[in-house]
Amino acid sequence: MSFKNTREYAQELDNQDELKNYRNEFCFPKINGKNVIYFTGNSLGLQPKKAKEYVDEVMNDWANLAVEGHFYANKPWWDYHERFCQPLSEIVGAKPTEVGVMNTLTVNLHLLMVSFYKPTPTKFKIICEEKAFPSDQYLIKSQVQYNAHKVGFNPEDAIVEIKRREGEHNIRLEDVLAKIEEVGNELALVLIGGVNYYTGQVFDIKTITQAGHEQGAYVGWDLAHATGNIALELNAWGVDFAAWCSYKYMNSGPGNVSGYFVHEMHHNNKELDRFAGWYGHNKERRFLMEPNFDPVQGANGWQISNLPILSMAPYLASVEMFAEVGMKKLIKKRTQITSYLEFILNEIDEQIPDTQFEIITPKDEKERASQLSVYLHGQGKSIFHYLMENGVIVDWREPNVIRLAPVPLYSSFEDMYNFGQILKAGIQKK
């Protein structure tokens, strides 16, 4: 597509945008009396205006019904989580019985690894990507250390990182596949982030999952930066398990409840270990208080605790908005607005000599989503501070990267143009 770096052109794109009215459904912070240009939906999504309504509904039911709210609230609490199954299944490409909502992301990954990291003295290695999000690094290391002394393997040998080639910012698919084949029969688990948090690179989930299975390994995915952002077909791709946070592209609120996926092929596998709890027990017999655990059929059988209804309420407001829009329309705008942002950045690079910044996110639209990571060669953090002071909320990552995430539900093309003008002024001032 041929773009133009003018306000009129950006406004024309906004007028053509079939999602433009959804921008009005979100609360924007203000700086200098104006709505901010918000580029950190990959860290914390904006608040949907309906979120407060959904939380207030729970608060009112609690006030008026107390414990009876479990069964007689407008949305009864005892099965509140089941309202997520259909819309979430459409977002991640699953069956409703394969998805659920509980806990937070890293907690869920730990719980899922109880089932899917089954090391033996000869098959114990985990493949992950270099520079994974720190929480995933801590998760994997602690799981390895916990299992090593019980099973009998050297924890120093267990974690295999797929590295970037010298001078490259992203990991090549061919290197992932080669490493999986190299580890071979020693491979117990592949666990990678579907979208790398630092560069915004989208991994080929289907191909990598197939390669892991060919070596007899389980394959799981951290979809924190993927869910609500990229097209997913977890059931069709044969992914064993996955989990995602809900507060980034899913706009559920800070640190909020996580979603998870367990493929239907594992639902009847009684050899899989799992940590049991009351809410994973047979729904029809839950209140009989039986001593032996009889898991709910499907992913909800991995539930443990009573439901955090107040946390789930804003997530439900957002999920229903996703169901109304559909991932196809979101991805269409995401692709266009990210490309327009890339065009704006390249225009500035051409207009100002020695701007010294580099987009490290892949150029191929199949390998990126709603994020461009910009490496500021020699610019320092002063540009970041200038943007923040002038109404652009962006994310800084060491050593010298600014992450820009235009979110299709609430970002406008005119935002992209205005950002370019502010960035240009900041560089010129410096």
Domain containing 395 — which CATH number? 3.90.1150.10
Residues 264 and 370 in one domain: no
Give me the sign of the Cα torsion angle 218, 193, 320, 80.
positive
The pLDDT of residue 278 is above 90: no
The answer as to whether 1 is a domain residue is no
The pLDDT of residue 399 is above 90: no
Strands 187-193 and 99-102 come out as unpaired
Distance (Å, whole) CA 146 – CA 148: 6
Residues 338 and 258 in one domain: no
Q: What is the DSSP string of 164-198?
A: PPTT-SS--HHHHHHHHHHHGGGEEEEEEESB-TT
Residues 25 and 142 in one domain: no
Residues 85 and 172 in one domain: yes
- Quick one: average pLDDT of 369-378? 89
Instruction: Compute the half-sphere exposure of residue 213: CA atoms within 13 Å on the CB side of its CA.
Output: 12
Predicted local distance difference test score (pLDDT) of residue 429 = 80
Among 325, 340, 362, which residue terminates a domain? 325
The answer as to whether 47 is a domain residue is no
**Domain CATH number, residue 118:** 3.40.640.10
The answer as to whether 49 is a domain residue is no
Residues 237 and 276 in one domain: yes
Order the strands of the 401-404 sheet from edge to edge.
357-359, 372-376, 401-404, 395-397
Among 302, 325, 348, which residue terminates a domain? 325
Residues 264 and 341 in one domain: no
Weakest-pLDDT range from 6-10, 56-60, 253-257, 267-271: 267-271
Residues 86 and 185 in one domain: yes
* pTM (2 d.p.): 0.95
Domain count, the chain: 2
Distance (Å, whole) CA 245 – CA 260: 9
Summary mean pLDDT of the chain: 94
The answer as to whether 103 is a domain residue is yes
pLDDT tens digits, one per residue of 288-343: 788 888 888 899 999 999 899 999 999 999 999 999 999 999 999 999 999 999 99
Both structure tokens of 66:
């107390």
Residues 213 and 242 in one domain: yes
The answer as to whether 381 is a domain residue is yes
Residue ranges of the alpha helices (H) in 326-395? 327-351, 382-389
Both structure tokens of 75:
């949305």
The pLDDT of residue 346 is above 90: yes
Predicted local distance difference test score (pLDDT) of residue 270 = 81
Residues 206 and 239 in one domain: yes
Residues 224 and 347 in one domain: no
Strands 395-397 and 34-35 come out as unpaired
Q: Name every residue whose Cβ is closer than 8 Å to that of residue 215 and which is 6 or more positions away in sequence.
A: 180, 181, 183, 184, 185, 187
Distance (Å, whole) CA 139 – CA 209: 20
Among 325, 354, 381, which residue terminates a domain? 325
- Quick one: average pLDDT of 55-82? 96
The pLDDT of residue 225 is above 80: yes
Weakest-pLDDT range from 40-49, 131-140, 254-263, 375-384: 375-384
Residue 220 pLDDT class (50, 70, 90 cuts): very high
Strands 187-193 and 218-222 come out as parallel
| Cβ atoms of residues 156 and 126 within 8 Å | no
Residues 319 and 337 in one domain: no
Predicted local distance difference test score (pLDDT) of residue 381 = 83
Residues 340 and 317 in one domain: no
The answer as to whether 163 is a domain residue is yes
Q: Domain of 230?
A: 54-325
Predicted local distance difference test score (pLDDT) of residue 285 = 85
